[in-house]
Amino acid sequence: MSTRIYVPCDSGALSLGAEKVAHAIALEAAKRGIAIDLVRNGSRGLFWLEPMVEVSTANGRIAYGPVSPSEVAGLFNADFLNGGKHALNLGLTEEIPYLKNQERLTNARVGITDPVSLEDYIAHDGYRGLKNALKLAPAEIVKQVTDSGLRGRGGAAFPTGIKWNTVLNTQDEQKYIVCNADEGDSGTFSDRMIMEGDPFVLIEGMTIAGLAVGANRGYIYLRVEYPHAYRNLNAAIAAAKQAGYLGQDICGSGKAFELEVRLGAGAYVCGEETALLESLEGKRGLVRFKPPLPAIKGLFGKPTVINNVISLASVPIILDRGGEYYRDFGMGRSRGTLPIQLAGNIKRPGLIEKAFGVTLREVLYDYGGGSATGRPIRAVQVGGPLGAFMPESQFDTPLDYEAFAALWAVLGHGGIVVFDDSVDMAHMARYAMEFCAEESCGKCTPCRIGSTRGVEVMDKIINNQERAENIKLLRDLSDTLLNASLCALGGMTPYPVLSALNHFPGDFGAEK
């Protein structure tokens, strides 16, 4: 029997040379006349070890990493096909503490299976949620999701079950399920990892959503910056359709669900749900006024469930194991797990799916191992470019929506970007305004004009022109953005700006 070897096809691993490693392994095996079964899995999310190669042995999968093409011959010499000793041998993958101490529900299969193999998906408990859902009435499916306590993982944390219930109870012949896969926040990559590493779980989640609310058509709005996810999603959709898991008659139930991937075109604001719907309709991504809610009048004016990738990808396990199973993880009103994405200046960056409640400090030091540069961590930005900067004094905050909100911070999509003590926070505040100016859709004045004025004010502060007056002006301007913007882009840009100013006044020229 040929040995099974796993080399990730996740774009993070590819960016570190996984393709060349896979090629070198295939070549070396052929040279030595050894039959191998090379599987391109998703990433386990241990990015400091990528490209991480795994070998299937009688005792379980053994990991080697980070592997470079030049080390491949040495690995063969060390009999890595049988888990042989080598400097890069990391032992059993599942025993690596970073991975072992996680609670992987949504990402249960990512890094384990061949992402585009339906057979592999089903062999690893895939489509069990859908099978259960097919036996339930729509309202019962919605109840499971409501009971799970799942809240929108895109950042807004709105209860998913309530959203679904609104769509279920809005009568219309045509309803839609839209997946927001416009993961534009810096520091976030869990949507990407799901779509590249386990696309079927998203497809299954959307199919269940369709059954729950009576929608027979779904769209995945995917950012154009994710070409690898595009390929894997389309391959998985084709396979699911071929096997009757998508199409006009799902698993012989007589119910229909068609699914299509649509590409965005590099506009951050299209991650805002109403701008996304406009874009799907073929227009500029201008934010809509609410109400009407998309649940009542969404895509093409029809009732629409619009959810983030992780929200939808968490549905299959909820329908498989029950809402209560999922709800038993977490703390307070933050139920279930959060795929935390640890990024930036950090020694061990990666994907950490944990029940809510773990503290920032545990994530940064126990998992992350401190900064990549070895210098002290000065600040972290959680929740993307619209999230607050948090100083060391707030590192004991548990990852929980309410605990973050109480500190005027944002948990958002769970991305954490780490900065060491070389960071200039005034510079970061200026960048936040610049980003808002670059990406503003232009519909509302506070965001369109305010962001540009914000860059100018920040330049004056940085250049020490009437600093005290300009800091006052910056606070005034932020107040306008916060209270008068149409959506979160303008409305939350003050989070990074003011948190930087409040926690790091010295960088803005204040007496220390």
Partner 1 sequence: MSQPDWGKSAVAAVIDSLKDEPGALLPILHGIQDALGYIPSGSVPVIAEALNLSRAEVHGVITFYHYFRETPPGKHTVHLCRAESCQSMNSEALHAHAKSKLGIDFHQTTQDGDFSLEPVYCLGLCSCSPAIAIDGEVYGRVSSERFDEILNEVRSPA
Cβ distance to partner 1 smaller for residue 395 or 431: 431
- Nearest approach in angstroms of CB 304 to partner 1 is 13
Smallest separation, CB 252 to partner 1 (Å): 28
State the minimum distance, in angstroms, from the CB of residue 13 to partner 1.
9
Find the DSSP H helices in 198-284: 199-213, 227-242, 273-280
| DSSP annotation string for 124-158 | TTTTHHHHHHHTS-HHHHHHHHHHHT-B-TTTT--
Smallest separation (angstroms) from partner 1 to the CB of 388: 12
Name which of 148 and 451 has its Cβ closer to partner 1.
Answer: 451
Return residues touching partner 1 (CB under 8 A).
Answer: 11-12, 14-16, 45, 47, 50, 183-189, 191-192, 224-228, 262-268, 279-285, 300, 341-345, 349-351, 372, 381, 385, 415, 417-420, 423, 428, 431, 435, 438-439, 441
Nearer to partner 1, 141 or 346 (CB): 346
Minimum distance from residue 435 beta carbon to partner 1 (Å): 7
Q: How far is the CB of 450 from partner 1 (least distance, A)?
A: 19
Provide, rounded to whole angstroms, the least separation between the CB of residue 165 and partner 1: 26
Closest CA to 168 of 196, 200, 144, 199: 144
Contact 19, 67 (CB under 8 A): no
Q: Which is nearer to partner 1, 321 or 443 (CB)?
A: 443
Nearer to partner 1, 221 or 401 (CB): 221
Angle at 423 between CA 420 and CA 429, to 5 degrees: 130
- Retrieve residue 39's tokens: 């599987």
Nearest to 196 by CA among 156, 235, 153, 224: 235
Least distance in angstroms from the C-beta of 101 to partner 1: 18
Please identify, using beta-carbon distances, which residue of 46 and 134 lies nearer to partner 1: 46
DSSP 286-330: PPPPSSSPTTTS-GGGS-EEEEEHHHHHTHHHHHHH-HHHHHTSE
Element (H, E) at 473: helix 467-484
Largest CA distance in the chain: 75
Cα-based distances in Å from 45 to 98, 110, 328, 338: 10, 9, 24, 14
Task: Please identify, using beta-carbon distances, which residue of 4 and 231 lies nearer to partner 1.
Answer: 231
Measured CA distances, 123 to 6, 64, 113, 212 (Å): 17, 25, 9, 25
Q: Considering beta carbons, is residue 102 or 188 the nearer one to partner 1?
A: 188
User: 58: helix, coil or strand?
Assistant: coil
